[in-house]
Amino acid sequence: MAGHIDAIRDAVIGGKHGDIKTIVQEALNAGVDPNAIINDALISAMDVVGKDFGSGKIFVPEMLVSAVTMKNGLDVVKPLLAGNESRSRGTVIMATVQGDLHDIGKNLVTMMLEGAGFKVIDLGVDLSVERLLDKVKEIKPDVLGLSALLTTTMPEMKKVVEELVSQGLRKHVKVMVGGAPVDRVFAEKIGADGFGANAAEAVELARRFSVK
Ligand code: B1M
């Protein structure tokens, strides 16, 4: 088992985007738990990539290739997580806030929510406050999930909550926030309903928010 996990980690860190699907499939064939592949291999590899980027050991192109590699790996695991439950537990909008193009964490949360039986409308990345508000009015979700990976884009989350209040929509939708620089204190400060440190916590929160 450890050999498969290490092989996936090494492939993501080394940016082996063409090989990763085979390596993940081999791990699955050998009986490795899909959740272990996500948490102990794919996410853990991106932590190493992030540290290497932060310390100047690698640069944006290498980080991007690792991100693509991780995404390719997730694609193989995704069908095993989604659609485990037949009835929708509620509707969740997911998006990254304006200025933020980091979508791996958001995609992971989306996948886990779908796997837990939620209907998820993934609006993608770089969503302006105006567009998010339009979508909330149109879709009327139970939960609005916002992701941010940059300290410079976190304030967008506050703007979204403020705009929901000023347009009288706040009591109709729960706001869930997450992303590496976000924490519980920040979530409380901006008036969000909850913070998810990871995809599993996000699912727990969404369950609590939309009891159906
Ligand atoms: Co960027 N980047 N990046 N990057 N990048 C970080 C975030 C950074 C910390 C790297 C570093 O310096 N060490 C740094 C931010 C520093 C800061 O703000 N203080 C940074 C920077 C600076 C930048 C650029 C500005 C670099 C440049 O161009 N000079 C640029 C900005 C682009 C933009 O957004 N406008 C940039 C670009 C990129 C790439 C495009 C190359 C690529 C993104 C590719 C993509 O996403 N499609 C990238 C990557 C890959 C990273 C790192 C290495 C990895 C992020 C990631 O995918 N992690 C990252 C360093 C790091 O975080 N280790 C870094 C794995 C992912 C599964 O974790 O997203 O945290 P995460 O999601 C978790 C939880 O946070 C949570 O659940 C997930 C699963 O556990 N979660 C939620 C996330 N959203 C949630 C929502 C919820 C609940 C839980 O409810 C709604």
Write the pLDDT tens digit of every residue in 136-177: 999 999 999 999 999 999 999 999 999 999 999 999 999 999
From 77, 110, 149, 150, the mutation candidate for ligand 1 (largest count of ligand atoms within 8 A of CB) is 149
Contact status, residue 178 vs residue 109, Cβ threshold 8 Å: yes
* pLDDT tens digits for range 82-130: 555 545 789 999 999 999 999 988 988 887 788 677 899 999 999 999 9
Which atom of ligand 1 has the smallest separation from the CA of 202? Answer: 88
Say yes or no: 113 and 175 in one domain: yes
**Closest to 72 (Cα-Cα) out of 140, 12, 4:** 12
- Residue 34's domain spans which residues? 2-85
Say yes or no: 92 and 66 in one domain: no
Say yes or no: 23 and 106 in one domain: no
Q: Is 91 exposed, middle or buried (0-12, 13-18, 19+ CB in 10 A)?
A: middle
Say yes or no: 181 and 77 in one domain: no
Say yes or no: 54 and 97 in one domain: no
Looking at ligand 1, which residue's alpha carbon is closest to its atom 39?
64
Q: How far, in Å, CA of 204 to CA of 202, rounded?
A: 5
Q: How many structural domains is the chain composed of?
A: 2
Q: Name the pTM for this structure.
A: 0.84
Say yes or no: 185 and 103 in one domain: yes
Residue 182, domain CATH: 3.40.50.280
Q: Which residues pair with 93 in a beta bridge?
A: 121, 144
